[in-house]
């Protein structure tokens, strides 16, 4: 899969069709909203999803790490779907997840789903700043230059004569909102009022389409 290069905050970033961003100058991989063990969480509430979301998500995370070989990996919150998620995670996948945490330098930012990991002492940061860019789970919608997740942005539009609904990266002059990286996590249409304070005529949506990144301007949304 090819990366798509963008300029943000006077820095070069590379957007991946996996739903991640790589910052080459800092050798940092940025991922948001893995929602590990979402399937088992829904199962406990009587909703049956295929039980392989954690397996697929962790394997894709491992693959993008191997592609970029980062010095640091930032997880922008909602890494686990709920505080008991690690307790439910199959031992094989838990071992693989912690193996990645031990092998690579991870920074775990807390989200609204994972303010703690019950039974495990993992350090969580409310936010993390590198140079002038702040990394957090949910956008502050102020003038802060930041990269965040939380909203799982998707676009529903007509593209090349076909109606599509697909995850996207929202990029403005001082904000990037990542799509959800996790499997079965769904998404929120960028026409939703939740985005009204960020969407403008200068906003770009970098969509994930046919394993490519395509830049759509605001005329599409």
Look at residues 163, 166, 171, 144 and name the one whose alpha carbon lies nearest to residue 155: 166
Which 3 state secondary structure label does DSSP give 28? strand
Which 3 state secondary structure label does DSSP give 187? coil
How far is 190 from 157, CA to CA, in rounded Å? Answer: 10
pLDDT (0 to 100) of residue 37: 76
Q: Are 178 and 207 in contact (CB under 8 A)?
A: no
pLDDT (0 to 100) of residue 46: 47
- What's this model's pTM, rounded to 2 decimal places? 0.92
Query: Sign (positive/negative) of CA torsion 111, 116, 117, 121?
Result: positive
Query: In this predicted model, what pLDDT tens digit does every residue of 37-49 receive, in sequence order?
Result: 765 555 455 455 6
> How crowded is residue 18: how many other Cβ atoms within 10 Å of its Cβ?
21
How far is 96 from 192, CA to CA, in rounded Å? Answer: 36
- Which residue do the tokens 């230059």 mark? 145
Which 3 state secondary structure label does DSSP give 170? strand
pLDDT (0 to 100) of residue 51: 64
pLDDT (0 to 100) of residue 89: 79
* Mean pLDDT, the chain cut into blocks of 10 residues (221 residues total): 94 97 99 82 55 88 97 94 77 91 94 62 89 95 92 91 93 96 89 88 92 86 75
Domains parsed from the chain with CATH numbers? 4-220 (3.60.21)
How far is 44 from 39, CA to CA, in rounded Å? Answer: 9
């Amino acid at each position: 899969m090819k990366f798509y290069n963008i300029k943000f905050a006077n820095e070069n970033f590379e957007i991946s069709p996996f739903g991640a961003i790589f910052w080459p100058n800092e050798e940092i991989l940025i991922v948001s909203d893995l929602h590990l063990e979402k399937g088992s969480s829904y199962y406990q509430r009587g909703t049956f999803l295929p039980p392989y979301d954690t397996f697929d998500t962790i394997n894709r995370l491992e693959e993008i790490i191997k592609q970029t070989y980062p010095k640091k990996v930032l997880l922008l919150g909602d890494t686990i779907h709920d505080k008991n998620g690690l307790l439910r995670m199959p031992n094989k996948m838990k071992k693989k997840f912690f193996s990645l945490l031990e092998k690579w330098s991870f920074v775990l930012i807390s989200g609204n789903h994972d303010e703690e990991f019950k039974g495990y002492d993992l350090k969580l940061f409310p936010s993390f700043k590198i140079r002038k860019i702040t990394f957090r789970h949910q956008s502050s919608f102020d003038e802060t230059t930041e990269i965040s997740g939380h909203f799982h942005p998707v676009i529903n539009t007509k593209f090349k004569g076909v109606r599509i609904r697909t995850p996207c990266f929202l990029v403005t002059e001082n904000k990037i909102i990542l799509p959800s990286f996790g499997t079965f996590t769904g998404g929120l249409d960028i026409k939703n009022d939740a985005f009204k304070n960020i969407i403008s005529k200068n906003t770009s949506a970098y969509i994930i389409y046919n394993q490519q990144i395509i830049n759509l301007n605001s005329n599409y949304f």
